[in-house]
Copies of this chain bind each other. A is one copy, B any other.
Amino acid sequence: MEQQRLTAPLRTVIIGSGNVASTIAPALEKAGAIDVVAVYSPTPDHASALAGELRHAVAVSDPANVPANAEFYLIAVKDDAVQSVASTLPPNPDAIWAHTSGGVDASALSPLSGRYGVFYPLQTFTKGVTTEMSEVPVFIEANSKADTDLLKAIASKMTPKVYEADSDTRCRMHAAAVFACNFTNHLWAIADDILRRETGTDLSVLHPLLKETLRKALSCRPAEVQTGPAARGDRGIIEKHASLLPQEEADLYRLLSEKILTYHSR
């Protein structure tokens, strides 16, 4: 597959100043993929803070002042803000526009330009925490082959893990990530609650177990290393555990155990 080569960093405006923008913009600039000319955020301090981490970006807090002469506009705001933020910005039909959201269609940006796409880094970013960008997968979509290749070329400067994904695929990917991370985190919260309430400890007693469980899941297929009462069909222990928990937790315990029993009896 021939990829469009980036002969020079693209003159870029970053829209947003949250965790994603603050991680991705410096990483792409450092990689030589983009040259950030402006950072836009409605909160002047936030725009300035991110602009200050870039080579020669200006901070912009009035959408009317967003430079009209950039080649690339990257919108890195929360999923549910993409459309509303985009509607405040001056269109630039010569430039390519992309957002970083897993759950928003590429076409949300069509009012701004005939060239639009998605640049979706599948990672949770935290300000102040260094992320190894070369491990982060980026999913690309655009409404032309040339712009798909252009966005892939930009991403490829930062990470080897660059994939194409249309909006449906990206949405399924995001649903999988919700299972793997958001739901998982909620189960850790429940475990923490049980331990605090019932045993006078907290989740920290399980930290070694959590680390080992993840280590196994990273090196094997999780379905093949499933352990626990449900995986071995031990209904006695399942009922004993459920009987010791309050209703809400007991219901969830039974339901997830049934899911595992069914899954592993296939």
Select A179's contact among B174, B187, B263, beta carbons within 8 Å.
B187
Q: Mark A138-181, 1 if CB is under 8 A from B, else 0.
A: 00000000000000000000000101010011011111111111
Give the number of times this chain occurs in the complex, counting copies. Answer: 2
Chain B residues with Cβ below 8 Å from A122 are 205-206, 208-209
Q: Which residues of B contact A181 (CB under 8 A)?
A: 206, 209-210, 213, 227-228
Does residue A226 face the partner (Cβ distance < 8 Å to B)? yes
Chain A 234-266 per-residue mask, 1 if CB under 8 angstroms from chain B, else 0: 101100110011000000110110011001000
- A186 at the B interface (CB under 8 A): yes
A191 touches B176 (CB 8 A): yes
In the complex, residue of chain B having the shortest beta-carbon distance to the beta carbon of A80 = B234
| A208 vs B248: C-alpha distance when bound (angstroms) | 32
A123 within 8 A of B: yes
CB-CB under 8 A for A185 and B222, given A177-B191, A199-B172, A214-B211: yes
Question: Given A123-B209, A208-B135, A240-B103, is A221 in contact with B187 using a C-beta cutoff of 8 Å?
Answer: no
Give the interface of A toward B (CB within 8 A): 78-80, 103, 122-124, 126, 129, 131-132, 135-137, 161, 163, 165, 168-169, 171-195, 198-199, 201, 203, 205-218, 221-223, 225-232, 234, 236-237, 240-241, 244-245, 252-253, 255-256, 259-260, 263
